[in-house]
Amino acid sequence: MNWDVIIKYLPRLFDGAILTLELVAFAVIAGLILALPMGIARASRHWYVRALPYGYIFFFRGTPLLVQLFLVYYGAAQFDAVRQGPLWPYLRDPYWCAVLTMTLHTAAYIAEILRGAIQAVPNGEVEAARALGMSRAQAMVHIILPRAARIGLPAYSNEVILMLKASALASTITLLELTGMARTIIARTYLPVEIFFAAGLFYLAIAFVLVKGFKLLERWLRVDATQGR
């Protein structure tokens, strides 16, 4: 092990870790917002409401993220309409392509988590809300969603960790996040074991902090108090 090299390049890896965190934060927050209507639609009683989000979720969960990333980053350029369109400055930029693809990808998974959580809300609580005179929308906002958020939180924290690992794929479209940065450094130093080892430690550290953070959030939202009933 060549520790000097690891220490020398730690600041560069740290920069990469910041970009990784940025991508993940963007994706899981935007993904949650996008997933909210989809998850609610997926839990609907009407098949025609369920069908559209189902197709979306089926595609994004059934294909590799790498394919989706290449479809957006390389694929969009195939169409002149896109290239002359107003969004081209963004679709040309690997950063926004990675953010967009990761958001669309994780939204499909989060929507499924939400659907499961909404369906796991005890029926009696929904009926109680309706009996108190709440409209369907009110029951959704005040009773079902706050309850589903607590049921789905552990699964959501898993998804965030999975996205942290998936963000490594952004290096394939030239982004210098943690993995991309490690590959660049290796191209210069020819020390793959040391640098990948250091990058791996960064991922482990980030995952550790995220897991602890979600534990705190679970305690703050009093998730345990709503369980076992």
Q: Using CA atoms, how far apart are residues 128 and 126, in angstroms rounded to an integer?
A: 5
Tell me the closest approach of the beta carbon of residue 107 to other proteins, in angstroms.
17
How far the first Cα of the chain sits from its last, in Å, is 53
| Close Cβ partners of 69 (under 8 Å, ≥ 6 residues apart) | 97, 98, 101, 169, 170, 172, 173
Q: Using CA atoms, how far apart are residues 1 and 183, in angstroms rounded to an integer?
A: 17
Q: Using CA atoms, how far apart are residues 56 and 51, in angstroms rounded to an integer?
A: 9
Ramachandran region, residue 26 (left: φ > 0; alpha: ψ -120 to 50; beta: rest): alpha
Single residue of 8, 83, 142, 165 touching other proteins by CB under 8 A: 165
Q: Binding marks (x or -) toward other proteins, 78..107, rule CB under 8 A?
A: xx----------------------------
Tell me the closest approach of the beta carbon of residue 134 to other proteins, in angstroms.
30
Q: Does 59 bind other proteins (CB under 8 A)?
A: yes
Question: What are the two backbone dihedrals, phi and then psi, of residue 180, each rounded to the nearest 5 degrees?
Answer: -60, -40
**With respect to other proteins, which residue has the nearer C-beta, 54 or 221?**
54
Q: Does 208 bind other proteins (CB under 8 A)?
A: yes
Q: Does 172 bind other proteins (CB under 8 A)?
A: yes
CA distances (Å), origin 179, targets 11, 176, 224 = 14, 7, 36
Q: Binding marks (x or -) toward other proteins, 112..141, rule CB under 8 A?
A: ------------------------------
Q: Strands, DSSP E only, in the chain?
A: none
Q: Using CA atoms, how far apart are residues 207 and 220, in angstroms rounded to an integer?
A: 20
Q: Does 171 bind other proteins (CB under 8 A)?
A: yes
Residues that bind other proteins (rule: CB under 8 A) add up to a total of 39
Q: Does 179 bind other proteins (CB under 8 A)?
A: yes
Q: Binding marks (x or -) toward other proteins, 17..56, rule CB under 8 A?
A: ----------------------------------------
Residues that bind other proteins (CB under 8 A): 58-59, 62-68, 70-71, 74-79, 164-169, 171-172, 179, 182-183, 186, 192-193, 196-197, 199-200, 203-204, 207-208
